[in-house]
Structure 1
Amino acid sequence: MQQLEILSDTAQNTLCQLIETAQHIVVCCHKSPDGDAIGSSLAWADFLKSRGKEVQTVIPDAFPDFLKWLPGTERLLRYDKQRERAEEAFAKADLVFCLDFNAAGRVDEMQTPLEASPARRVMIDHHLNPTLAAELAVSMPQMSSTSEMIFRIVWQLGGFEAMTRQAAIAIYCGMMTDTGGFTYNSTRPEIYTIIGHLLTKGFDKDKIYRNVYHNYSSWAIRFRGYIMSQKLNVIADFNASYFCITRQDMRRFHFNKGDAEGLVNEPLRIRGQRLVISLREDTDKDRLILVSLRSVDDFPCNEMAERFFNGGGHRNASGGKLFCTIDEAETVVRDAILAFADRLKKPAAESIEKNV
């Protein structure tokens, strides 16, 4: 089906040649990998193995607990825990695939072995403004997710019939999590064509949803309720809100990685909200604040992330970081909201009523 193909003839030939001439391949993704990073990496590694390649999937650090049910996660090599083995994999590789990131800095400390590797490099990603040096760069910000891109590439290379159920699950999970359960950045008809094809592999998509979104501990539910009831700051005049998560908050509620996943989306349920910002103290490094931004309609939170938070991303979903205290970060948030006041004052509800 031609509508699913995304590679030009030249790019397809280059990719096929790179795969054909490689034997030891590393697939890697960004720091703090999410569902799309893990899903696309697992599915692409599965495809490469079907081509007879030796594949090692390396991730910079821990991924959320609610993804550990995904088939194949037990074989992921964590750089922060298994550094020697990971560095050996990069040194031995003759081809490295960089999935779901477009700048070397996004892999944090793993940047050193990645850049030192003698392997040729391929980037497959859907974020704006790529800077990663690669022999082949497949960059498509219009795609819902890197997992969607992986499906399309596997399809174009004739690999769908041989796609395993496990790979189909990984792709679906990646697409689902990067669109908030197909609630944003997912209006293109081809996305649902892809879902239809994936479902022929015989998995239960409803169970995948439950595994991801109904998989919190009781402490995590209490934590999320506490943040929304006690820490949420709603700035009604500008249709924006933000909240701060401190280390003390996390200790109090026995925080595990992933417990705050998707929490930044919750205040968007407030009528008229256009922007939500989450600030969270890093669990390991002092004076490091992790920032997540979500918006609706035409508000460009990626512009705000670039200007105020050393980050970037998509128009409605972006991230960044600040090197300061949580109190100083809160001041930056308020400055950012004021700077974008004119674009925030129009309630989201008004544009929804007019543009549906």
Structure 2
Amino acid sequence: MNSADIATIKSLLATPQNIVIIPHKNPDGDAIGSCLGLSKFLDCLGQNSTVVAPNDYPKFLKWIPGNEEILNFERENSQSKRLIEEATLIFTLDFNHLSRTGQMESYLEAASADFIMIDHHQQPSDYARVTYSDVSMSSTCEMVYNFIDSLDGVSKISKDIATCLYVGIMTDTGSFKYASTTSQTHRVVAQLIDKGAENMQIHQQVFDNNSPARLHLLGVALNNLVILEKYKTAYITMSQDELDKHNYSKGDTEGFVNYGLTLDGIIFAVIFIENKEEGIIKISFRSIGDFSANEFAREHFNGGGHTNAAGGRSDFNMEETTERFIELLKNYQKQLNS
């Protein structure tokens, strides 16, 4: 953040505010961790803050300190709307366009509050009074740490805040293996461990709490894996029937797309997941190196994200979607093999 933005934020926080903190729809570890970490820090400043999530999120995130205080917009609709209406300051974390909040979008657009955006995705929109956007950052949680530091608040980071921020950095960096993990990321993580984040316990809580149903579902996903060697691409399909048969719960397919990238020679991996309730195929894209999953998702599947990790959707059925995907790859064969 520049000095003008820091001065604006300090001015806004110099008096008590009614603050609402919003993650994106279907929030992940970085979204939940950054929102709860920021909320707990603002509470230390004497502010009144509440996290309102657009919808539910995976069970493996529901142990994070402060989780029980999050409002679910779908379930606690009246209370959530009232808080947004009464808010004097709204933070939006880990997304940069209000459409990413689903059915909350119109209520946020109508809000009279000032907005502060903290996000690391590409192409931010301009709805916020203060926009802290940096696509080079590993995670929004790392940015929240920087936000706290810019307000001279590192001394206020408690074990709970450190735990929240560690979760987001760990999950959004693929346990520190993605290219966005910098030496500064490790320095921040070291600070969080010094502040009380228990790295082994956090890893176990997030990654080592699988249900038998999830592991069986992973087996189905791997059995459905298709390898397209000439495009250095692998993709997985998951039908609604397959999800239902294995008692799918939100978050159960988290990370499945990454298995394609563990194959020798594969640089582009995709998972297509049928969602009959929404009438779409939800898509996750992952890539290695210079091939932009973000540009591919934006250009062809109404999505976007980061250079090497993006999401999208298709309104066609599974067969039509995968056929279109394979046809599109023909236009990228040179890039994928460069």
TM-score scaled to structure 2, two decimals?
Answer: 0.98
1:58 is matched with 52
Deviation for aligned residue 1:253? 0.7
Contact map agreement 1:22 1:95 (CA 8 A) in 2: no
1:112 is matched with 106
Q: Map of 1:91-110 to 2, 5 A cutoff? A: 91-110=85-104
Unpaired runs of at least 5, structure 1: 1-6, 347-356
CA distances 1:303-332 after superposition (whole Å, capped 9, x unpaired): 110111111111110111111211221122
Deviation for aligned residue 1:187? 3.7
Please tell me whether residue 29 in structure 1 is matched to residue 23 in structure 2. yes
Deviation for aligned residue 1:113? 1.2
Distance 1:284 1:269 in 2: 31
CA distances 1:51-76 after superposition (whole Å, capped 9, x unpaired): 11111110000111111111111110
RMSD of aligned Cα (Å)? 1.1
Q: Map of 1:36-51 to 2, 5 A cutoff? A: 36-51=30-45
Q: Map of 1:141-290 to 2, 5 A cutoff? A: 141-229=135-223, 231-282=224-275, 284-286=277-279, 288-290=280-282
Unpaired runs of at least 5, structure 2: none
Distance 1:215 1:333 in 2: 33
Distance 2:9 2:221 in 1: 46
2:64 is matched with 70
Distance 1:71 1:26 in 2: 18
1:13 is matched with 7
Distance 2:16 2:275 in 1: 38
2:299 is matched with 307
1:352 is matched with none
1:327 is matched with 319
Distance 1:23 1:171 in 2: 23
Residue 271 of structure 2 aligns to a residue in which SS? strand
Distance 1:306 1:180 in 2: 23
Distance 1:335 1:36 in 2: 34
Distance 1:131 1:186 in 2: 22
Distance 1:13 1:323 in 2: 45
Distance 1:285 1:91 in 2: 28
Task: Give the % identical residues.
Answer: 33
Distance 1:283 1:205 in 2: 38
Distance 2:66 2:41 in 1: 13
Residue 56 of structure 1 aligns to a residue in which SS? strand
Residue 210 of structure 2 aligns to a residue in which SS? coil
Contact map agreement 1:70 1:170 (CA 8 A) in 2: yes
CA distances 1:195-253 after superposition (whole Å, capped 9, x unpaired): 11111122320111111111110110011011102x11110111101111111010111
Distance 1:233 1:260 in 2: 17
Contact map agreement 1:304 1:336 (CA 8 A) in 2: no
- What code does the residue aligned with 1:330 have? T
Quick one: which of 74, 77, 83 aligns to 1:80?
Answer: 74
- What code does the residue aligned with 2:336 have? L
Residue 41 of structure 2 aligns to a residue in which SS? helix
Contact map agreement 1:25 1:96 (CA 8 A) in 2: yes
- What code does the residue aligned with 2:124 have? P
Indicate the larger mover: 179-188 or 140-149. 179-188
Quick one: which of 273, 288, 298 aligns to 1:296?
Answer: 288
Distance 2:330 2:185 in 1: 37
Residue 40 of structure 2 aligns to a residue in which SS? helix
- What code does the residue aligned with 2:245 have? R
